[in-house]
Structure 1
Amino acid sequence: MSLNLQDIPRVKTITKEDFLKHYFKPQKPVVIEQVIKDWPAYSKWNLDYMKKMGGDLTIPLYDDRPVDYKDGFNEPHAKMKLKDYIDLLKREPTKYRIFLWNALKEIPALQKDFTFPDFGLRLMKGMPMLFFGGQDSHTFMHYDIDLANIFHFHFEGKKQCILFDQDQNDFLYKIPHSLITREDIDFKNPDFEKWPLLKKAKGYKTELNHGEVLYMPEGYWHYMRYITPGFSMSLRAIARNPKNFGKAVYNVFIMRSFDNIMRRIKGQQWIDWKNDQAIMRTHKHL
């Protein structure tokens, strides 16, 4: 048995009006296959190019180890020179990923390789973020702290994406005071005996190829797995739904601080309590 996932619709190109009407307003995901063919990045951006442009930069790396109470919010697990990391990606599978890296600040020349597309939403121009991963590395199922509208542009290779909207929270084993589900759920091959409510969750799936962009609506849960080594760039627009905007403000200014304080006071006990609560709260719906 597998997760209840439907394919994310795909279009070759799309007008701003059609995007707003068919995807943004109803808050549905879509893959746009050929929107960036005129970007220099479309032909230039691959791992070798990134190595050439920023190889000597030291970059923060993350893997899929469980959250530890000693780790601050989004603390990296290791650091490495970008050129060494890209060599590692090309040589062998690795769990290390680059996550939320504002590379365009550190390598300003990359900004000449793309233009901000007009989807009818005001994109945050100071925050293009890059994400890299090795073969079979993955993110935890999570949603973004600001519940933004996200345009996720993929480069080199293939990436698997699984999405759920916030209406599925009751079935996903969400960790309280957090933005993730239980970290021991394998969304590539879930154990339904251990996590029976996942059978009720209804989501979306796709595989992204070089040059394709995935639109993820506000607050959508996402799990990303690199089928081959590659990287992506996310552009974001703030949440327009007042409820989501309110949640974003709460997450950034209250939830994150509260969680960090509780980690300092309670230590690992706090993390363990949250993990237990994820099961108890979800199994209430059995």
Structure 2
Amino acid sequence: MAKSKVQRKKQPATAAPAGDDSLRVAIATALLDGEGPASLADRLIAEGHPASAARYEVERAVKSPYLKAATRLNARLAKRDWTLGVFSRLAQLDPDRARIPTIHDIDPDRFYRDFYLSNRPVKLTGLVDHWPALERWSLDHFDATLGDSIVELQGDREADPDFEIAKDPHQMRAPLRDVTRRLRTETGNDFYLTAYNSGINKQALAPLWADVAPISILAQREARDGFFWMGPKGTITPYHHDLTNNLLLQIVGRKRIRMVAAHDGPLMRNIVHCFSEWDGAELEAGEAAPGRPRVLDCTIGPGEALFLPIGWWHHVEGLDMTIGMSFTNFRLFNDFQTGYTSYGAM
């Protein structure tokens, strides 16, 4: 009697090894971004994945209840982006929002009413005309008064395209005199004393705070509320947004700032935390275009300041060797970072 043959059910092919979900994440991301299942499977095949495995993984993703739930969340996000797009279109209809105004010696009440509470940038002059720092701060003055002080800076930035995202590996310390020597001869983006280094530099540079004084639009909390910045011509801070309102102030040299309104965030290619995939060369100042936001442009020099509203994306370039400060101690609520929950989530 012939033995019966057991028919074994053919197991479906899988595109990714067990435990390796990177391809499945990529498939789900592509589907949520609007790529059709058929074209996605064809693309995977063209990239070298076996045809049966590619089609199986795409079909599996399409049928997944998890993707269905994510699709609903994606629709909510799209509705939010549509709402932001409405504000963007309305701003484009307002000629006053096509530029950053310049106001001299602004009245604090007007500043808060027309700019802080309206989330609008403004270039401000006359805020610090009374500061001794405008006359005293120079590389020679720093050498004479603080040359041996050990300061912290961000270094070796040009060796790492993610120098701003991964700041900690670039922290280094040096005598201030060594930094000023480099500032006299070097240009570029390789080193920079930034707000991120203020934990050390607040004490190391303490004698300088006698050269600053209260600013009319800010709240005075302590003798020195601001953050110190100093770098060569050519420093770059790539497109990002802050989690607070900021006042950027120049003492020496000029900075160019390009700005994108908070409501244009969906166009800013947010890749991680508060950083953008756009670089300065490809997202220049100009009007909005399909897939591109309106970009405003502003240059500030010695004694001038720029109010950077919370959520506004900005790109900062040092046009000269620069010394400046930034401040967050406004009179009204500015603790918005407390409610920010996206650290490490994207």
Per the TM alignment, residue 214 of structure 1 is displaced from its structure 2 partner at its CA by 1.0
Report the 3-state secondary structure (helix = DSSP H, G, I; strand = E; otherwise coil) of the residue aligned with 1:80.
strand
The match for 1:267 is none
C-alpha distance in 2, partners of 1:82/1:94?
Answer: 18
Counterpart among 110, 133, 148 of residue 244 in structure 2: 148
Q: Does 1:180 align with 2:275?
A: yes
1:69-84 map, 5 Å: 74-84=168-178
Per the TM alignment, residue 7 of structure 1 is displaced from its structure 2 partner at its CA by 3.7
The match for 1:280 is none
The match for 1:136 is 234
The match for 2:121 is 29
C-alpha distance in 1, partners of 2:131/2:335?
Answer: 31
Higher RCO structure (Cα 8 Å, ≥6 apart): 1
AA in 2 matched with 1:88? R
The match for 2:259 is 163
Q: Does 1:47 align with 2:139?
A: yes
- CA change 1:123–1:223 in 2 (3 A) is farther
1:224-263 map, 5 Å: 224-237=316-329, 245=335, 248-251=337-340, 254-256=341-343, 258=344
C-alpha distance in 2, partners of 1:34/1:51?
Answer: 28
Per the TM alignment, residue 160 of structure 1 is displaced from its structure 2 partner at its CA by 0.6
Counterpart among 194, 203, 217 of residue 99 in structure 1: 194
Report the 3-state secondary structure (helix = DSSP H, G, I; strand = E; otherwise coil) of the residue aligned with 1:142.
strand
Q: Does 1:214 align with 2:311?
A: no
Which of structures 1 and 2 has the bigger CA Rg?
Answer: 2
Report the 3-state secondary structure (helix = DSSP H, G, I; strand = E; otherwise coil) of the residue aligned with 1:22.
helix
Query: Deviation digits for residues 66-96 of structure 1, max 9, x if unmatched?
Result: 238xx86644254332211121112121321
Q: Is 1:131–1:232's contact at 8 Å kept on the other side of the alignment?
A: yes
Counterpart among 204, 214, 225 of residue 116 in structure 1: 214
Report the 3-state secondary structure (helix = DSSP H, G, I; strand = E; otherwise coil) of the residue aligned with 1:140.
strand
The match for 1:60 is 153
- CA change 1:208–1:237 in 2 (3 A) is same
AA in 2 matched with 1:34? G
Query: Deviation digits for residues 125-160 of structure 1, max 9, x if unmatched?
Result: 46411112211120111122xx22211111211111
Instruction: Please give the TM-score of this superposition, normalised by the length of structure 2.
Output: 0.61
C-alpha distance in 2, partners of 1:169/1:92?
Answer: 35
Query: Deviation digits for residues 18-71 of structure 1, max 9, x if unmatched?
Result: 212221121211111222111111211223323333322132224252238xx8
Report the 3-state secondary structure (helix = DSSP H, G, I; strand = E; otherwise coil) of the residue aligned with 2:123.
strand
Q: Is 1:104–1:110's contact at 8 Å kept on the other side of the alignment?
A: no
Counterpart among 294, 299, 304 of residue 202 in structure 1: 294
C-alpha distance in 2, partners of 1:250/1:11?
Answer: 32
Deviation larger for 197-206 or 210-219 = 197-206
Return 5+ residue gaps in structure 1 as ranges.
260-273, 275-286
Instruction: Please give the TM-score of this superposition, normalised by the length of structure 1.
Output: 0.72
- CA change 1:131–1:6 in 2 (3 A) is farther
The match for 1:265 is none
Report the 3-state secondary structure (helix = DSSP H, G, I; strand = E; otherwise coil) of the residue aligned with 1:38.
coil
Q: Does 1:89 align with 2:183?
A: yes
Q: Is 2:230–2:324's contact at 8 Å kept on the other side of the alignment?
A: yes
C-alpha distance in 1, partners of 2:290/2:253?
Answer: 29
Query: Deviation digits for residues 204-251 of structure 1, max 9, x if unmatched?
Result: 21111111111111232221100111121011136967xx855x1244
C-alpha distance in 2, partners of 1:58/1:217?
Answer: 29
Q: Is 1:155–1:231's contact at 8 Å kept on the other side of the alignment?
A: yes
Report the 3-state secondary structure (helix = DSSP H, G, I; strand = E; otherwise coil) of the residue aligned with 2:250.
strand
